[in-house]
Structure 1
Amino acid sequence: MTAASLVARCVHGLEPTVAAEILQLGLGMITHLGHREIHFRAHRPDARAVALRTADDVFLLAGQCADPGTAKQGATALARLADIADLERLTRSRQSHGGPGALTGVEVSASFLGRRNFNRYDVEDAVGRVLARRLGVGYHSRRAGTAPPPGHSGWRVTLDGTRATLMLRVADRPLHRRDYKRRSVPGTLHPPLAAAMARMADIHPGHTVLDPCCGAGTLLAEAGNQQPQARFCGFDLAPQSLHAARENTAVFSSVTPAGSRITIGQADAGRLPLPDGSVDRVLSNPPWGGQVAAHGLLAASSSHWWTELRRVLAPDGTAVVLLPGVGDLPIGIRRHLVPVHIQSVRLSGAQSYLIRLAAPGRQERSRSGSSRKER
């Protein structure tokens, strides 16, 4: 079978992270990095394409042409992409990369950069009706706002100002929808972003991993999926969050001779029930008043969160945090947390920052203590 061209879609800012995961899995050669898209050429048919954790979704490239521009007839012109797509090849390739074998219905999602004299539904209907006619199946329009019936093949059209791209989803649903995600709470973290944070933390077997503001447990679930031989604990003040976190991590919390792999408890992130230096990795999306207001000691001052993070983190430990800005970062630096990586991401139209912080090792701490005594 001829090698397929695939496209992974992701949160803006995670493009290099997704590209790295594709390369580490040996799925193919990266051919293009664009806005929220990573194009890659498969080395061979590989069902692991639908196992990408940091991607929102993965598609087979069905066709490309020049962006038709802003004119209203541009939406209709995109129907040509659907008319010339090799549907037999796409069906075979979809199955060989881990997706369903049959194209039983059609639903299309479109997006574009810049202002146009047509809307997304014009594009979706123009492309979807041609695909449905060629396949002899039904077409579900999103124009009415209703969800497509189960089993419909997912197609996507993107226009970036230079080219228009038609793609076919490999899996039967978007990759960002996780089976473990049974419950959600306000401010719950997007699973692929949580997976990216877990990868950034470089969790090893035997590590103790903490989320001091665990919410629905998404960070713990994604980290547990990546490193099943580590130990995880999460804390939160809100009972509804604790209930959601326990449900969402239940599948990862199999009891071993050493105890449960993931434990969830109620505690204030500003006063954690953990010994000093007992945690190897911290993963956290703290509540700084965006979708979720801070409570407990964090409501009084964010410095409590930074103080506890530093206290529980072991020498040579690592923390990966998601912050809405970098204004609080000097507080962490004053507590001897060293920023070693900062990466901007865009979530729901707002800019946030993924930050990896390192705790000084024992030798560095000894030198720092000696210097203070000498002064």
Structure 2
Amino acid sequence: MNLKMVHSRLFCVLKTAFKKLEAVSMTLYFTSVLPGLEYILSNEMNNKVSDSEIIQINRGKVFFTTAESFTCLSSLRSADNLFQVIDQFQIGPHKKHLSQVSERIAQLDLDFIDHKYLFWVNASRKGKQTYNRFEVAKKAMEGINKHYPDWNMGTSQNHQIEFRLDIEHHHVIFSLRLTDATFRFRNQTRQFSRASLLPTVAHAMVWLSDPKLTDIFVDPCCGSGTILSERATYPTNRIIGGDISGVVTKIAKSNLEDSKVQVNVWDARELPFSNGCVDKIVTNLPFGRQISPDEDLELFNHHIMNEICRVLKPNGRAVILSESVNQLFWEAKRLGLFCLESYSLSLKGVNPTLFVFEK
């Protein structure tokens, strides 16, 4: 199936969803998510948003309907941003067709939006159009001002209300952005060490560990403590992390000062735990530019996988992010760890794999 057929199918699916929503008090949304985490986010959504229905899953996006409040939706910690879909329509590929954007948007009822603030439209496009995304955004803003002449337009750097207009070939989705960067960074002022994980990725890893109240949870390579911080949002028995660098563990402690997480200086290849005492291990192993060239990454992975297997309880779970795909599969097989799932991610210019192992 080629891309145009995929986008055409999405258009039809969303059109059907809009018709269904007319009869019930449901709203159509989509979340943006790091490519590779779409199905993890969908699972989180099915567990946290009781009436949600997944409409479509695309690369980097999950479309769904729900009648739940924004407070409920903000519990989706694997999502980057949340958008409410306002309209969808079709458009031609040439500049002469841009008037279709302003005319269509000028007809929309946007009275539900508080217009006391400055608004802006960001646009994206995929396909062979003769116009660029800035021209599309300008036409969308003209359409809004045609219907609402008293609304004040901001700038790309100064606005409080943000609309999004995505064009994929002939298909247009017009939406309202409900979140900003503080959503995916947890409204926190955090310190980050080199190669720190995004909180959304860290949460997806925690979610894959199937967090339980009775867990003894360990991150052997905790860095600035992002995984530990995400695990601390769920009830648990103990949360323990460590790193070989005293400077890094100091950063982690400052990021976790309001929680009961233990942070230690240790060598992950010699963990201070007895055999079979840890329920869950979740960690981001060094890869790519994260490790200096004079270190033997393959040997490091070999030793740390030995330790992970040693300290895990029978049926314990290890969620590991690594670029050493073939080696981790081999090490797991050697140690008798069963790979439940794996996900290839697109992360900071590299493509590590997220593994879920069970002892």
Length-normalised TM-score, structure 2: 0.82
Return the match for 2:119 from 102, 106, 113. 106
2:101–2:143 contact (8 Å) kept in structure 1: no
Q: CA deviation at 1:327?
A: 1.6
Distance 1:343 1:2, change over 3 A: same
Q: Secondary structure at the match of 1:327?
A: helix
Please say if residues 206 and 230 of structure 1, whose CA atoms lie closer than 8 Å, have aligned partners that are also in contact.
yes
- In structure 2, give the amino acid aligned to 1:180: Q
List per-residue Cα deviations over 1:229-269 (Å, max 9, x = no partner). Answer: 33111111234422332222223x1xxxxxxx311111122
Contact 2:34 2:60 in 1 (8 A): yes
Amino acid at match of 1:191: P
Contact 2:128–2:169 at 8 Å: present in 1 too?
no
In the other structure, the counterpart of 1:228 is 235
Cα distance change, pair 38–223 in 1 and its aligned pair in 2 (3 A): same
Greater displacement, 126-135 / 178-187: 126-135
Question: Aligned equivalents of 1:62 and 1:80: distance in 2?
Answer: 15
Report what 1:123 is aligned to: 136
Please give the residue correspondences for 1:88-167 in structure 2 after superposition, counting only pairs within 5 Å.
Answer: 88-89=111-112, 91=113, 104-114=117-127, 116-131=129-144, 134=148, 136-142=150-156, 147-148=157-158, 152-167=160-175
Tell me how far 1:158 sits from its aligned partner: 1.8
Distance of 1:241 and 1:131 partners within structure 2: 49
Q: Please say if 1:17 is aligned against 2:17.
A: no
Cα pair 1:185 1:215 within 8 Å, conserved: yes
3-state secondary structure, aligned to 2:191: coil
Q: In the superposition, relative to structure 1, how do residues 312 and 162 fare at CA in structure 2: closer, same or farther (>3 Å)?
A: farther
Kindly state the Cα deviation for residue 294 of structure 1 after the two structures are TM-superposed.
7.8
Partner of 1:65: 89
Equivalent residue for 2:16? none
Equivalents in 2 of 1:173, 1:130: separation in Å? 27
- 2:153 maps to amino acid: Y
What is the CA–CA distance in structure 1 between the aligned matches of 2:255 and 2:87, rounded to whole Å? Answer: 38
Residue in structure 1 matched with residue 77 of structure 2 by the alignment: 53
- Which 10-residue stretch deviates more, 304-313 or 26-35? 26-35
Tell me if the contact between 1:198 and 1:223 (Cα under 8 Å) persists in the aligned partners: yes
Instruction: Classify 1:14/1:289 alpha carbon distance in 2 versus 1 (closer, same or farther; 3 Å).
Output: closer
Q: Residues 202-241 of structure 1: matches in 2 within 5 Å? A: 202-225=210-233, 227-241=234-248
Please identify, of 337-346 and 294-303, the stretch whose mean Cα deviation from structure 2 is larger.
294-303
1:269 matched residue in structure 2: 268
Identify the residue that residue 322 of structure 2 maps to in structure 1. 323
Alpha-carbon contact 2:192-2:224 (below 8 Å) kept: yes
1:269 is paired with a residue whose SS is coil
Amino acid at match of 2:314: P
The answer to whether structure 1 residue 5 and structure 2 residue 28 are counterparts is yes
Q: What CA distance in whole angstroms lies between the structure 1 residues aligned with 2:225 and 2:215?
A: 18
Assess if the C-alpha contact under 8 Å between 2:199 and 2:226 holds in 1: yes
Instruction: Evaluate the alpha carbon distance shift between residue 289 and residue 102 of structure 1 in structure 2; reply closer, same or farther with a 3 A threshold.
Output: same
In 1, are the aligned partners of 2:280 and 2:317 still within 8 Å (CA)?
yes
Say whether the 8 Å CA contact 2:104–2:143 is kept in structure 1: no
1:290, 1:353 → 2: CA distance?
16
Give the AA of the match of 1:148: N
d(CA) in 2 for partners of 1:68 and 1:291? Answer: 45
Q: Distance in 2 between matches of 1:162 and 1:247?
A: 49
Deviation for aligned residue 1:28 = 2.2
In structure 2, what residue type is equivalent to 1:6?
Answer: Y
Task: Report the CA distance shift for 1:300/1:326 in structure 2 as closer, same or farther (over 3 A).
Answer: closer
Q: Distance in 2 between matches of 1:291 and 1:118?
A: 40
- Greater shift after overlay, 262-271 or 152-161? 152-161
- Point out where structure 1 has 5 or more consecutive residues left out of the alignment: 92-100, 254-260, 360-375
Within-5 A mapping of 1:30-49: 30-45=54-69, 47-49=71-73
Q: Distance in 1 between matches of 2:88 and 2:168?
A: 11
Cα distance in 2 for partners of 1:84, 1:33 equals 29
How much is the aligned-residue C-alpha RMSD, in angstroms?
2.7
Aligned mates of 2:90, 2:353 — CA distance in 1: 34
Change (3 A) 1:8 1:305: same
Could you tell me which amino acid in structure 2 is paired with residue 106 of structure 1? Answer: F
Q: Is the 8 A contact 1:81 1:166 kept in 2?
A: no
Partner residue in 1 for 2:177: 169
| 1:150-202 deviation line (CA, Å, top 9, x unaligned) | xx112222223352111112246563121235112232112122111111101
- Match of residue 185, structure 1, among 166, 185, 193: 193
Question: In the aligned structure 2, how far is the partner of 1:232 from the partner of 1:44?
Answer: 31
Letter in 2 for 1:235: G
Runs of 4+ residues deviating >6 angstroms = 294-297
d(CA) in 2 for partners of 1:209, 1:5: 36
Question: Which residue in 2 is equivalent to 1:279?
Answer: 278
- Where structure 2 has 5 or more consecutive residues not aligned to the other structure, the ranges are 1-23
Tell me the SS of whatever aligns to 1:331: helix
Q: Distance in 2 between matches of 1:67 and 1:322?
A: 41
Instruction: Tell me which of 86, 89, 105 is aligned to 1:82.
Output: 105
Q: What is the correspondence of 1:301-312 to structure 2 with a 5 Å cutoff?
A: 301-312=300-311
Name the % identity. Answer: 24
Aligned equivalents of 1:29 and 1:310: distance in 2? Answer: 38
Matched positions, count: 333
